[in-house]
Chains A and B, each alone.
Chain A
């Protein structure tokens, strides 16, 4: 088991390295170098050369790549044009903000989605529960995350006025800075949006799994043992969980895209919103660093899903 985790961690590091490399070349494919914007705003030629040197943009592509890697390795993500501060210092405080939406939102969406999936999957085939469940899940899945976000913002913030829909609220100080009512109130709508965004796919996959497992031989034996019907359904649910977790791997990337949009809709100061702002401001080091952070989050989440899968399916060997 330990060897397995170590190997998966090394794979994760490799993936991050590939992402970094891709980022390097993708950004270099863009027309003009990053100083172009600054030149237009009247930067003296000497200063421009200094900047290019500082950012490692002089010399051959290989040299640039090397200095880019060494900078990253030492934690130097470059300096934001907009904030005139190291990109890392700008983004680091936002990592937790993003996780505050991402983790509860996805967990809630997965838990409720899987729970409902079992209910819908166990319901009579062709009955009202199955029809309504599939219809609603398919409908919600078709709604883009920004439409969903705006809708929830309108209903719960603008019309009902139950929760604030803008920003992160008043934060406290230090380690316990998130433990304020204001923060929690602001947290509810974005988390709810992400949960609803993430839920339908979980529901539909879980339902498919349960429907397939309903016909399996082992369920017949479980039922023959005279256990409660809910217990029989539990066996089906437990087996249906495996494909759902397999699906999580590719879905995580898509969900991160959803988080970016939800942060923008709710003006939530997270990595995603900062990424969009940075792109609009052509604040290149910030954008690059935000990409990097999101990629690391996806890789780590994948790793977690992988380990959970190994835990849930005894047939997966760690060797």
Chain B
């Protein structure tokens, strides 16, 4: 296990920053494409209190990464973003370029998937970490480099490897370097976008444990974007499940995963092998995401839902409270217990949906 950071006497003077709160409301992201208007994110609300961790889950293409990038304002210029992203009460979407530059990495730091090239291939990793520090702190390069050494110690990489280039690192080391970089300025909120997807399962566990430990020890707020509901189960206090650009279910992780109210969450739960060490049969959800250029009326999951009714295909279900802080967008919360039983059986998902 990595050693604790070196004594505070020699530590680089990095400003102390409190964890931040994040409130996303009515977030919509659209792209004008040849065939029309693509609604990648269609009305998403999220809330992260200071020090809290939120898992944002869903299959690829559901819009979860787009939400993450919209929060950081890293979407391409042609994206149309509406709604509010309040970071400690300030709307990120309405900030000037200068304000944005100031909050980036100090309030909001990003841990990307480092599989391919999250790091610039032609710069030493230490220089890339130092770059984030000198951009915001009144430190010279030598002090910034010392901070980078502390960070490497924190994530368990030998300090001398700061002089290496990204291609000299293994995938797991690169991921930890990216984590170290995100911690460089004590940013109030960490946004981790698929931080373990590119790693083998042993590395995944190590990196996850590390993220979780650092987030708690350093009391940072965190959003963890992932397709892997098991990762969220291990790491996050709260979870929001996304489907086709919308939140379908959200709430405390324990409640949502133990007693899901939305059939999509039940399906997702089947698709991953272990949650809390509980071995389940792997069942995948047949079908594909609906076309976001022309989303269906009614519930977007209806076409793949084994329990959908005509009502589902006509009327869009609102998010309703089904427990303390637990929201679900399904028309039939009262039948959730029966759905859960049926959802655990393979035959439920293999027969053609459409019955009632």
Contacts and interface: CB of A to CB of B under 8 A. Distances in A.
Contacts of A225: 104-105, 131-132, 135, 181
B213 interface: no
A216 B121 CA distance: 11
Interface stretch (B46-54, B95-103, B231-239): B95-103
Given A217-B112, A223-B74, A226-B135, A235 B105 contact: no
A238 interface: yes
Interface string B90-126: 0000000100111111101110110011111111000
A220 B131 CA distance: 14
Contact of A218 (B69, B120, B136): B120
B109 A224 contact: yes
B122 A312 contact: yes
Contacts of A222: 120, 131
Contacts of B74: 220, 223-224
A228 B102 CA distance: 10
B72 interface: yes
B341 interface: no
A221 B118 CA distance: 7
Contacts of B109: 224
B103 A226 contact: yes
B34 interface: no
A299 to B, nearest CB: 27
Contacts of A313: 121-122
Contacts of B181: 221, 225
A62 to B, nearest CB: 50
A229 B100 CA distance: 11
Given A224-B109, A226-B135, A218 B119 contact: yes
Contacts of A314: 121-122, 165, 167
B117 A216 contact: yes
B109 to A, nearest CB: 7
A263 B33 CA distance: 53
Contacts of A224: 72, 74, 104-105, 108-110
Contact of A124 (B77, B97, B136): B77
Contacts of A223: 74, 104
Nearest to A220: B74
Q: What band does the interface of chain B fall in when counting residues whose beta carbon is under 8 Å from A?
A: 20 to 34
Contacts of A216: 117
A226 B120 contact: no
A315 interface: yes
Nearest to B74: A220
Query: What is the predominant secondary structure among interface residues of chain A facing chain B?
Result: helix
A6 interface: no
Which range holds the interface residue count of chain A?
20 to 34
B106 A315 contact: no
A227 interface: yes
Given A315-B165, A315-B167, A218 B101 contact: no
Contacts of A64: none
B121 A239 contact: yes
A313 B165 CA distance: 10
Interface string B287-300: 00000000000000
Interface in A209-245: 216-218, 220-229, 231, 235, 238-239, 242
A217 B120 CA distance: 9
A9 to B, nearest CB: 26
A291 B132 CA distance: 52
A216 B131 CA distance: 18
A235 B128 CA distance: 10
A239 B122 contact: yes
A231 B109 CA distance: 18
Contacts of B122: 238-239, 242, 312-314
Nearest to B112: A221
Given A220-B74, A238-B122, A314-B122, A226 B101 contact: yes
A272 to B, nearest CB: 36
A226 B110 CA distance: 11
Interface in A50-93: none
A228 B121 contact: no
A235 to B, nearest CB: 5
A239 B135 contact: no
Nearest to A124: B77
- Residue from A216, A226, A235, A315 whose CB has the most chain B CB atoms within 10 Å: A226
Interface in B167-219: 167, 178, 181
B228 to A, nearest CB: 20
A220 B118 CA distance: 8
Contact of B101 (A227, A238, A242): A227
A315 B102 CA distance: 33
A217 B116 contact: yes
A239 B166 CA distance: 14
Contacts of B135: 225-228, 231
A242 B121 CA distance: 11
A216 B118 CA distance: 8
Nearest to B119: A218
Interface string B118-154: 1111110000000110011000000000000000000
B165 A239 contact: no
Nearest to B100: A226
Contacts of A242: 122
Interface in B43-102: 69, 72, 74, 77, 97, 100-102
Nearest to B135: A227
The 7 closest A-B CB pairs, nearest first, are A226-B104, A225-B132, A314-B165, A224-B110, A226-B105, A227-B135, A218-B120
8 contacts: A218-B120, A221-B119, A225-B104, A225-B131, A226-B102, A226-B105, A226-B132, A235-B120
Interface of B: 69, 72, 74, 77, 97, 100-106, 108-110, 112-113, 116-123, 131-132, 135-136, 165, 167, 178, 181
Given A217-B113, A223-B74, A238-B122, 17 more contacts: A216-B117, A217-B112, A217-B118, A218-B121, A220-B69, A221-B112, A224-B105, A225-B135, A226-B104, A226-B106, A227-B131, A229-B97, A235-B123, A238-B120, A242-B122, A314-B122, A315-B167
